[in-house]
């Protein structure tokens, strides 16, 4: 009887440890994702400032100095959609990179 209790306690302990590991792993992934989203929003704010979009005039030369792949800017009033549109040689590139050509988790709008 005592052997079954030890085995049950051991299995329960292993279950708790695995559950804790899964929980901490999920917290780490969520933290990484939200840090990427925050960084992306900060980069877009900086690009909007560089492109002088607040005054309604797009400064293409300034944006093209940062990335020659830019072909437009997508803004939909009343929504949070306000992003540059890029077109690279390879459609897969901007699935994993941001406007500044840095490796990035969030995907870009591209054509």
Structural domain that includes position 90: 2-110
Q: How many domains does the chain have?
A: 1
Higher pLDDT, 31 or 4: 31
Q: What is the DSSP annotation of 6-28?
A: HHHHHHHHHHHHHHHHHHHHHHH
pLDDT on residue 17: 95
pLDDT tens-digit series, residues 42-98:
877 877 777 766 566 677 777 888 888 888 888 888 988 888 888 888 878 888 888
Spatial separation of the C-alpha atoms in residues 24 and 60, rounded to whole Å: 44
pTM: 0.59
């Amino acid at each position: 009887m005592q052997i079954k209790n030890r085995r049950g306690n051991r299995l329960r302990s292993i279950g708790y440890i695995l559950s804790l590991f899964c929980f901490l792993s999920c917290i780490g992934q969520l933290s990484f994702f939200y840090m990427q989203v925050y960084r992306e929003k900060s980069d877009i704010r900086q690009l909007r400032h560089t492109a002088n979009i607040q005054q309604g005039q797009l400064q293409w030369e300034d944006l093209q100095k940062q990335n020659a792949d830019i072909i437009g800017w997508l803004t939909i009033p009343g929504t949070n959609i306000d992003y540059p549109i890029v077109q690279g040689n390879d459609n897969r590139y901007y699935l994993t990179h941001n406007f500044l050509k840095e490796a990035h988790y969030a995907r870009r709008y591209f054509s």
